[in-house]
């Protein structure tokens, strides 16, 4: 049995679909703070519970006795982590410590963890590989780095096997059209652009047009949610085989696109006009973030098959058109 924390969120719900589609017995634990119950099939075991609630965690572990945990649940909005650092540290660190304690108590020894490119901070070199210095520039990235350090110490003690996946910018939607991205508030570029294309927003605010990039807007690496899903399955299988006791992998497309390039592609895909305006840069936003994902390609034989920008935008647009108000709940 696999317990997915945050399985009602954007990324978690897609991974749950992939897991169940491949026949893995799966249960979800989520406090629904940013997730949607409707994104998880009704028939799946679902614990509406907070990681801060140790007793609820105990009950979930006693009921399903998971062999592996996939841990997505977190506070992940960077500007919020800067304005309210204690909340991010408390939720992410205390929540994860409670989860790890429950795992130890109930004999669950394997975890796939959702980490982030934000652990690197301002890049010294691009593409960024896993050896890049770890100097997060915001509390969100720092909270994820602390968790990686805690997991590493637990692995030293022999009580945890883990794989930490450092995602770059997750984007796109389930190709079947059943699941999509519905953060409230939305802070991610692709859904914001599509909201402007759909006329749900007057325009898109672009943070900074004076970066040292070809067109002055920030460059990011967008990875399709289906490619994230396949990486999670490979990570899970490596843990189940016992071939990996601890690993850290970047997950990106190894190709950067500027904000203006994403807008241009979205205009082409949607056939709509997209109004935008420029504002100042945002604190702590690097100019260019592009992943080096060679390690996971080599060690787990992962490949990005769906992360062409056009496909990312097409799948996201399909879901947004069919679900103009997002999930029902
Ligand atoms: N979206 C990205 O581009 C991106 C990039 C890098 C890393 N990540 C990481 O991936 C993970 C998932 O991101 P997402 O975009 O799907 O976010 P999301 O907000 O859609 O999903 C997070 C889920 O966790 C749940 N949750 C939050 N705190 C909880 C708690 N204390 N107890 C129980 N449930 C809780 C929420 O209700 C939600 O369903 C996060 O850990 C995030 O830091 C995301």
Written as tens digits, the pLDDT of the chain (329 aa) is 999 999 999 999 999 999 999 999 999 999 999 999 999 999 999 999 999 999 999 999 999 999 999 999 999 999 999 999 999 999 999 999 999 999 999 999 999 999 999 999 999 989 999 999 999 999 999 999 999 999 999 999 999 999 999 999 999 999 999 999 999 988 899 999 999 999 999 999 999 999 999 999 999 999 999 999 999 999 999 999 987 789 999 999 999 999 999 999 999 999 999 999 999 998 878 899 999 999 999 999 999 999 999 999 999 999 999 999 899 87
Return d(Cα 251, Cα 264) in angstroms, integer: 24
Domain ranges of the chain: 2-171+223-251, 189-221+254-322
Looking at domain 189-221+254-322, what is its CATH homologous superfamily?
Answer: UDP-galactose 4-epimerase, domain 1 (3.90.25.10)
Q: For a pocket test of ligand 1, which of 4, 7, 8, 9 has the largest count of ligand atoms closer than 8 A to its C-beta?
A: 9
**Ligand 1 atom nearest 140 alpha carbon:** 43
The answer to whether 140 is a known catalytic residue is yes
CA 20 to chain CA centroid, nearest Å: 19
Identify the CA nearest to 307 among candidates 229, 247, 234, 242. Answer: 229
Nearest CA to ligand 1 atom 26: 73
Ligand 1: centre distance to CA 87 (Å): 15
Q: At 316, which helix (H) or strand (E)? A: helix 309-322
Who lines ligand 1 at CB under 6 A?
5-6, 8-12, 30-35, 50-52, 72-74, 76, 91, 95, 114, 116, 167, 169-170, 183
Identify the CA nearest to 92 among candidates 68, 79, 109, 73. Answer: 73
* Half-sphere exposure in the Cβ direction for 118 (13 Å, CA): 23
196-219 pLDDT tens trace: 999 999 999 999 999 999 999 999
Q: Is the CATH number 2.60.40.10 carried by domain 2-171+223-251?
A: no
Let me know: does 19 contact 40? Beta carbons within 8 Å.
no
Return d(Cα 307, Cα 257) in angstroms, integer: 12
86-100 pLDDT tens trace: 999 999 999 999 999
């Amino acid at each position: 049995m696999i317990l997915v924390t945050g399985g009602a969120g954007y990324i978690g719900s897609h991974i749950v679909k992939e897991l169940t589609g491949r026949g893995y017995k799966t249960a979800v634990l989520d406090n629904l703070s940013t997730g949607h119950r409707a994104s998880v099939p009704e028939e799946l075991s679902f614990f509406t519970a907070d990681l801060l609630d140790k007793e609820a965690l105990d009950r979930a572990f006693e009921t399903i006795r998971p062999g592996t945990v996939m841990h997505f649940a977190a506070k992940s909005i960077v500007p919020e982590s800067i304005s309210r650092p204690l909340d991010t540290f408390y939720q992410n660190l205390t929540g994860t410590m409670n989860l790890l304690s429950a795992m130890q108590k109930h004999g669950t020894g394997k975890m796939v963890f959702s980490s982030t490119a934000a652990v690197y901070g301002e890049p010294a070199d691009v593409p960024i590989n896993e050896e890049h210095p770890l100097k997060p520039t915001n509390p969100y990235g720092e909270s994820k780095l602390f968790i990686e350090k805690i997991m590493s110490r637990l692995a030293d003690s022999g009580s945890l096997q883990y794989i930490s996946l450092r995602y770059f910018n997750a984007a796109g939607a389930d190709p079947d059209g059943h699941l999509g991205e519905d953060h409230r508030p939305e802070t991610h570029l692709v859904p914001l652009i599509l909201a402007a294309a759909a006329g749900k927003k007057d325009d898109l605010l672009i943070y900074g047009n004076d970066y040292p990039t070809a067109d002055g807007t920030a460059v990011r690496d967008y990875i399709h949610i289906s490619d994230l899903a396949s990486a999670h399955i490979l990570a899970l299988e490596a843990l189940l085989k016992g071939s990996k006791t601890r690993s850290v992998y970047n997950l990106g497309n190894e190709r950067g696109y500027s904000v203006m390039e994403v807008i241009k592609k979205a205009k082409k895909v949607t056939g709509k006009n997209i109004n935008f305006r420029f504002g100042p840069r945002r604190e702590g936003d690097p100019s260019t973030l592009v992943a080096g994902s060679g390690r996971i390609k080599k060690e787990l034989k992962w490949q990005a098959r769906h992360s062409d920008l056009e496909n990312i935008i097409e799948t996201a647009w399909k879901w947004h058109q069919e679900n103009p108000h997002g999930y029902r709940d």
